[in-house]
Amino acid sequence: MKTTLLLKYFLWSMLVFALSVGLMSFRALRSLELRSFDIAVGLRIRWQSRPSEKVETPVAPLPIWGYSSNEAYLRNVRQVVRSLKNAGAKVVVVPLPDNLVSVPRILGLLNAINSDSIAVFGSEMRIRSPFPTRTSFTFEERRTWWVRQPAFHRIEIPWGVSSVLTDPYSLLYRFVPDAFKDFETGERVPDIALQAIKRYLGYPDSLEIRISPSYVFFGTYTIPLERDGFAYVRYSPLPVYGGGVYATVVPEADSLVYFPAAWSGRLREKNLDNAWQFYKNKIVILDWSGLSQAPFVSYDRTYAQIIHAILSRSYVKRYNDYDLLFILLFVSLLSVLSYKLRGLVTLGITFLLSLGILALSIWLFDRYSILFDPVYVLVPIVLCGVILPVVKLTEEKRVAEELIRSLEDEKKRLEDLVRNLPPRL
């Protein structure tokens, strides 16, 4: 029995190892990747310490609520940018609809917004839907990293691509710093965050952004890149906004009405003129509800995290270089344990080991900003915990059945022997 069971264990262990490596090599579980870090996200955010007074971010939002046509949106933006310039804002990030048409009146509005010299335009906002689709997957592939200039180069404006990938209530943000290419010119297009920071720091728009396989360099800043071409950023508790303005579209006039914002959540009256002064020397991000592609994902909050991470040089390091070694280790360990222990004990160990791997990945992410994605490491643990006890039970059943058959044969032989004995005198 032992020789046969050892042989079966070896064959099934090799099969589990090969299957796990195959899934990892072809990223067959792509839809499950980068999911473990958002377990109990609400509870973990409350556990995180509140931002100290030393934490500063120059980013401030200005939400625009309501729906309007693209032309009306640009007219309203023109008004907002002029007011922000008068208030002393350094940069205004203007997200643009991806269905703009380059007709003269649209080009004229873009020119008018650009004339205030503080606006940078974000093209094709890309935020992952809460329901995974093929589009969200293909966006991770470099061959899809192409974008069109909003005005089709009929006029030249400072612009960048919105390349952030995130999920609602996620702690992880990914963006492509400088790898998108312009459809018309083939030149690289940076993310809108880099364009905003260049303007904020006083760098010229023509500042060269240098790129290597592992880093992006611009000015005095270095952005680390992972193998997939993304830079990784984690959620940070930023200071609560203490003022500002929000705007609402009036449908009858298709214009904006402004209100002072109490971002701290405390009801208080505030003079509108004073509320505009909140934006002095800041990067202002417009957040128009008409552009939202995913509920509960805010354009301004997302880019507040990205810009803060770049300015504070705080990134997440992805650490999955030893997944193959971990797969081999866990297959070997669970094969030995399953051979030595009963099936229920092996299942219990598998469950505890899976929880431990998940807890370790969350702890590394929260404590040290190390991204260890356990999905492909969990595969051999789960497979070994399910398959090997079944293999052992099946072999024990086979041996027991053979033993029963041999005992029955022996019983029958003895009965025949007794029947054939001569009668006693």
Q: Which residues contact 8 (CB under 8 A, 6 or more apart)?
A: 391, 395
- The strand pair at 231-234 and 245-250 is best described as unpaired
For 354-394, the pLDDT digits (tens) are 999 999 999 999 999 999 999 999 999 999 999 999 998 88
Mean pLDDT for the chain overall: 86
So what's the pLDDT on residue 196?
Answer: 97
Q: Average pLDDT in the 309-326 region?
A: 94
| The predicted structure's pLDDT at residue 375 | 95
More confident residue, 42 or 14: 14
Q: Which residue has the tokens 């579980």?
A: 29
404: left (phi over 0), alpha (psi -120 to 50) or beta: alpha
| pLDDT band, very low/low/confident/very high, at 421 (cuts 50, 70, 90) | confident
Residues forming beta bridges with residue 221, ordered by sequence position: 218
Average the pLDDT over each of 225-239, 244-258, 301-315 and give the range with the smallest value: 244-258
User: What are 251-286's pLDDT values in tens digits?
Assistant: 777 789 999 886 544 444 467 888 899 999 999 999
Contact criterion met (CB below 8 Å) for 310 and 221? yes
Tokens of 81: 């940018």
| pLDDT: which is higher, 50 or 176 | 176
pLDDT at position 131 is 42
Structure tokens at 337: 């344990």
Q: Tokens 């099946």: give the residue.
A: 394
Per-residue model confidence as pLDDT tens digits over 141-194? 888 899 999 999 999 999 999 999 888 788 999 999 999 999 999 999 999 999
With beta carbons less than 8 A apart as the criterion, state whether 249 and 68 touch.
yes
Closest to 239 (Cα-Cα) out of 61, 33, 372: 61
Q: What percent of the chain has pLDDT over 70?
A: 88
Q: Please, where are the H alpha helices in 65-114? A: 70-87, 104-114
Q: What is the distance between the alpha carbons of residues 425 and 420, in angstroms, rounded to a whole number? A: 15
pLDDT above 60 (res 1):
no
**Residue 174 main-chain phi, psi, to 5 deg:** -125, 140
Residue 301 has a pLDDT of 86
pLDDT-wise least confident of 246-250, 295-299, 324-328, 342-346 = 295-299
Cα dihedral value 136, 139, 144, 147, nearest 10: 100
d(CA 391, CA 262): 64
Residue 278 DSSP symbol: G
Torsion-angle region of residue 285: left (phi > 0), alpha (psi -120 to 50) or beta?
beta
Residue pointed to by tokens 């008409």? 290
Beta-sheet strands, E only, within 204-323: 210-211, 215-218, 221-224, 231-234, 245-250, 255-260, 283-288, 317-318
Find the mean pLDDT for residues 76-103: 93
